[in-house]
Amino acid sequence: MVRSMTGFGRAEAANEQRRIVVEIKSVNHRYLDLSMKMPKRFNLFESRIRSLIKQYASRGKVDLYVSTEEFADDAAKLHYHAALAEEYTTYVRQISETCGLPFDLTASRLASMPDVFTMEHPDEDEEASWPLLEEALHSACTAFAEQRLREGGMLAEDILGKLSGMEEKVAFIEARSPETVAEYEEKLAARIRELLENTSVDESRLMTEVAIFADKVCVDEEMVRLRSHIRAVREALTSKTGEGVGRRLDFLAQEMNREANTTLSKCSHLEVSAAAIDLKTEIEKIREQVQNLE
């Protein structure tokens, strides 16, 4: 069960007193970074909300928005803090006189100062709000998780297709590498005969040179490791454990890229070099996709 780190969910829950709307969205991030914007009255639920979110996401930059609509006429009242407004005015006037600046404070600007006006709710048990908030949270998180799961499935399908293409390139390189050595032996022998004209070729020296060349261009180990990494990526993508695989796949993609680089550095044949370049291209695409996985 592969999940993407990007997703969105929205839900609302209501009773006779109020309606609560919850929106949750996320983008890629190295770890779980949760940001919450909600009415101050819900601050006492912050730890519970964090625990709930962690049930649905282990990585990603997650933004949670909570808003409420009160139905009762006396549900909330606007309160004007006159003493605080007077204090703001005093200090602004002091700044004006001290710095030689015009005193341009208006009533509208004063009203926008923090806490000059506050929304006050009648005394009530805030704990009673939790069941409704929890209902909305669970519904939004469920929609959020389902979208991440759908997108993760599409990413996994795309990566699996690229892995099959990589295996074809690996098979080509494995089959073509011995032919490269044989071709080198023929070209080397022909070159020596040309230089020495009719003089016989020292087969022992020729075989030594061919052996040295074969050792330099041998990519058997790289191909074995590449096949192993491809198999590990495929197993992670098809696993049903539900655990996040993004970090593991990112590491495996780096390892595959290292093997492809080594293969390319050993290649002396155009067709094999082209196949190694194609391998690197596919691996880079996989690395980009893996960055989106949880």
Overall domain count for the chain: 3
**pLDDT band at residue 222 under the 50/70/90 scheme:** confident
Reported for 269-276, long-range contacts at CB under 8 A and 24+ positions apart, including other chains, are 269/176, 269/180, 269/183, 271/172, 271/176, 272/172, 272/173, 272/176, 272/177, 272/180, 275/169, 275/172, 275/173, 275/176, 276/169, 276/173
- Which residues, in sequence order, are CB contacts of 232 under 8 Å at separation 6+? 252
Span 265-289, average pLDDT: 86
What pLDDT digit, counting tens, does each position of 157-198 carry?
999 999 999 999 999 888 877 666 566 555 655 565 555 565
Q: Which of 219, 234, 257, 113 is nearest to 163 (CA)?
A: 234
What pLDDT digit, counting tens, does each position of 59-95 carry?
999 999 999 987 766 556 778 889 989 999 999 999 9
Shared domain for 97 and 141, answered yes or no, is no
pLDDT at 216: 60
Shared domain for 143 and 230, answered yes or no, is no
Q: Is residue 159 part of a domain?
A: yes
Shared domain for 36 and 88, answered yes or no, is no
Any idea what the CATH number is for the domain that residue 58 is in? 3.30.230.10
pLDDT at 17: 83
Report the share of the chain in percent with pLDDT over 70.
Answer: 82
Residue, of 214 and 235, whose pLDDT is higher:
235
Q: Is residue 269 part of a domain?
A: yes
Q: Is residue 180 part of a domain?
A: yes
Write down which residue in 147, 182, 197 finishes a domain.
147
Shared domain for 49 and 115, answered yes or no, is no
Shared domain for 42 and 97, answered yes or no, is no
Domain extent at residue 199: 149-290
Average pLDDT, whole number, for the chain?
Answer: 84
Position 201 pLDDT exceeds 90 = no
The runs of H, that is alpha helices, within 197-245 are 203-217, 220-238
Six-digit token pair at 154? 């599409």
Q: Does the predicted TM-score (pTM) go above 0.75?
A: no
Span 144-150, average pLDDT: 94
Amino acid identity, position 57: A
pLDDT at 123: 55
Position 115 pLDDT exceeds 90 = no
Q: Is residue 165 part of a domain?
A: yes
Question: Hey, is 76 helix, strand or coil?
Answer: coil
Shared domain for 190 and 219, answered yes or no, is yes
Shared domain for 232 and 285, answered yes or no, is yes
Shared domain for 115 and 61, answered yes or no, is no
Phi and psi torsions of 145, nearest 5°: -65, -40
Q: Is residue 2 part of a domain?
A: no
Shared domain for 38 and 51, answered yes or no, is yes
Six-digit token pair at 115? 């806490």
- What does the alpha-carbon distance between residue 23 and residue 118 come to, in Å, rounded to a whole number? 24
Report the share of the chain in percent with pLDDT over 90.
Answer: 47
Shared domain for 96 and 214, answered yes or no, is no
Reported for 208-214, long-range contacts at CB under 8 A and 24+ positions apart, including other chains, are 210/181, 210/184, 210/185, 213/181, 213/184, 213/188, 214/181
Position 132 pLDDT exceeds 60 = yes
Q: Is residue 266 part of a domain?
A: yes
pLDDT at 100: 87
Position 210 pLDDT exceeds 60 = no
Q: Is residue 243 part of a domain?
A: yes
Q: Is residue 168 part of a domain?
A: yes
199: Cα separation from own chain's centroid = 66
Shared domain for 134 and 14, answered yes or no, is yes
Shared domain for 156 and 286, answered yes or no, is yes
Position 142 pLDDT exceeds 90 = yes
pLDDT at 192: 56
